[in-house]
Amino acid sequence: MTTIDFQTEPSRYRHWRIELDGEIAQLIMDVDENGGLFEGYQLKLNSYDLGVDIELADAVQRLRFEHPEVKAVVLRSGKERVFCAGANIRMLAGAAHAHKVNFCKFTNETRNALEAAGAESGQHYICAVQGACAGGGYELALACDHIMLADDGSTTVALPEVPLLAVLPGTGGLTRVTDKRKVRRDRADVFCSIEEGVKGERARDWRLVDELVSNAGFAEAVTARARDFAGRSKRAGEGPGVTLTPLRRRFEGEDAIRYSAVAVSLDRAAGVATIEIQGPDGPAPESVEALRGQGAEAWVLRAARELDDALLHLRLNELETGVLVFKTAGDPALAVAHEKLLLDNDGHWLANEILLYWKRVLKRVDLTSRSLVALLEPGSCFAGLLAELAFACDRSYMAEGSFEGDNRPPATLTLTPSNFGRFPMSNGLSRLETRFLGEPESLEAAERHLGEPLAAEQAMDLGLVTFAYDDIDWEDEVRIFLEERASFSPDAMTGMEANLRFPGPETMETRIFGRLTAWQNWIFQRPNAVGESGALRRYGTGLRGEYDRRRV
């Protein structure tokens, strides 16, 4: 199978264009029919596959880093009479279950990033819909801050998945209809049952779109609305942006990937990938201007981009790797210093963007359906934003004291202000709040040790790690855990982790990943959708799906 590469840049885009005009950018979807990621389908009517979405994710990311001046983004189609027909059905019908699920997860994360741009960075997306906007097309619109619909008698929004394909709108559609746009649930039921969709006043009255605009003045109205959003934006971008230069990434043989601050090594027989993040190799930049001078080479930004790429690579290209082991190395004090510069300057757009990017990467970790374990070993660098990785894991093992024949300093864990609310999970709580849901006093106790390099015994006492072992037991305990984990059913692990990782409150995000996705995955296994006579397989043949009528 071809390796899927998540790295791209605007000059290589086949499906999107960015047009810049001061505070306003246009992000234009113009999918190349023949540019599918795999063989066997054409991307007609602005339908998309993972390749199209990789470009979109790249564009959304670059707009935040490379264009601090952009405060509103108009998302529109480059084609006549069609906005976007959604995910390509033939691609879905032909894809393996794991690919379908991973595809939906990535597109969901991209939709969330698009929403986060407005909410966190004041870079607001305005969706300009002319022509059919169906399924994933409408879900793209739903992820924008504002939806404008051409009132031309033919432009519709639709979620035709249920009647047409016997699957669910899989990119947050159902959840955003009820929870973001708060469409009345019986109307939502009607809307999701109508193959041809809803147009005009009904679309507006039912809150499916925000405004109706006549075709004649459409472009002007959209620009005016974009200026309006830009005028109210809190985005404080000044001066030049930071170019996201190509990653320094080297595939070494079959089993290793080496980036500048991240290294991945694979043990395929064991089903384990080890991701080691290297702390900074020098002092923090002296000022936020110096940080900007470093550009994409700044340590946190570089580590974030590399870790993000590694996670996506493992998710899509290494399906049999069931366990991700997180390690770190380096000087915790340096990591804290680099982080401190960002925290002290979080009013500056670049420091802010880097922190927000780290937040998104951590969420990507939380949502990775592999068993996650942190090993805090001698010489490790679990401080502040890197310690957060340990709290994202299902378990953590910490080494006690020095190891024989190892002259690296004993493992420590250092808490910083960034462990107390700076990087909320999808459930809206910090990882420590989630961890200590039943014992808020433990959260307070931890906070009293802010900035101290905690040894294993202290970390255990404070409830910050799962187990601590000295060098006599360490190797055996870790090995036994990894072997045990590898012996469990991967599906049971996925289900268990999806439930245990997100206790406490739910948000639209957790509902999308926990409830909607789970039901969609179930349906993606059902013969009524994916069997020989199922609707997804029969799409385009002129035959309707034949259904087993039993309700479950």
Least distance to a second copy, CB of residue 508, Å: 10
Q: Which is nearer to a second copy, 319 or 329 (CB)?
A: 319
Least distance to a second copy, CB of residue 135, Å: 13
Cβ atoms of residues 158 and 138 within 8 Å = yes
DSSP string for residues in 109-131 = HHHHHHHHHHHHH--EEEEEE-S
Helix (H) or strand (E) holding 213: strand 211-213
Least distance to a second copy, CB of residue 180, Å: 9
Beta carbons within 8 Å of 427's beta carbon, 6+ residues apart: 434, 502, 503, 504, 505, 506, 507, 509, 510
Q: What's the sign of the alpha-carbon dihedral 156, 523, 4, 326? A: positive
Q: Which is nearer to a second copy, 316 or 334 (CB)?
A: 316
Least distance to a second copy, CB of residue 63, Å: 29
Our CA dihedral for 20, 24, 29, 30, rounded to 10 degrees, sits at -40
What does the alpha-carbon distance between residue 85 and residue 48 come to, in Å, rounded to a whole number? 8
Q: Which is nearer to a second copy, 320 or 475 (CB)?
A: 320
Least distance to a second copy, CB of residue 335, Å: 23
> How many CA atoms does the CB half-sphere of 45 hold within 13 Å?
17
Q: Which is nearer to a second copy, 93 or 298 (CB)?
A: 93
**Among the residues of 216-348, which ranges form H helices?**
218-232, 288-294, 299-317, 332-344
Q: Which is nearer to a second copy, 11 or 487 (CB)?
A: 487
Q: Which is nearer to a second copy, 163 or 417 (CB)?
A: 163
Q: Which is nearer to a second copy, 35 or 495 (CB)?
A: 495
Cβ atoms of residues 31 and 77 within 8 Å = no
Gyration radius (Cα) of the chain, Å: 24
Amino acid at 152: D
CB atoms within 10 A of CB 362: 22
Order across the sheet with 371-376: list the strands. Answer: 250-252, 256-258, 262-267, 272-278, 323-329, 371-376, 395-399, 467-469
Least distance to a second copy, CB of residue 524, Å: 9
Copy the structure tokens of residue 111: 């939709």
Question: Strand ranges (DSSP E) for 332-416?
Answer: 371-376, 382-383, 395-399, 413-414
Q: Which is nearer to a second copy, 144 or 167 (CB)?
A: 167
Least distance to a second copy, CB of residue 499, Å: 4
Least distance to a second copy, CB of residue 164, Å: 10
Q: Bridge-partner residues for 129, per DSSP?
A: 149
Q: Bridge-partner residues for 327, per DSSP?
A: 276
Least distance to a second copy, CB of residue 102, Å: 8
Least distance to a second copy, CB of residue 184, Å: 6
Beta carbons within 8 Å of 453's beta carbon, 6+ residues apart: 332, 383, 412, 413, 414
What does the alpha-carbon distance between residue 402 and residue 378 come to, in Å, rounded to a whole number? 7
Cβ atoms of residues 411 and 398 within 8 Å = yes
Least distance to a second copy, CB of residue 190, Å: 7
Q: Which is nearer to a second copy, 131 or 197 (CB)?
A: 197
Order across the sheet with 211-213: list the strands. Answer: 16-21, 24-29, 72-77, 124-129, 146-150, 211-213
Q: Which is nearer to a second copy, 248 or 395 (CB)?
A: 395
Amino acid at 276: E
Q: Which is nearer to a second copy, 149 or 164 (CB)?
A: 164
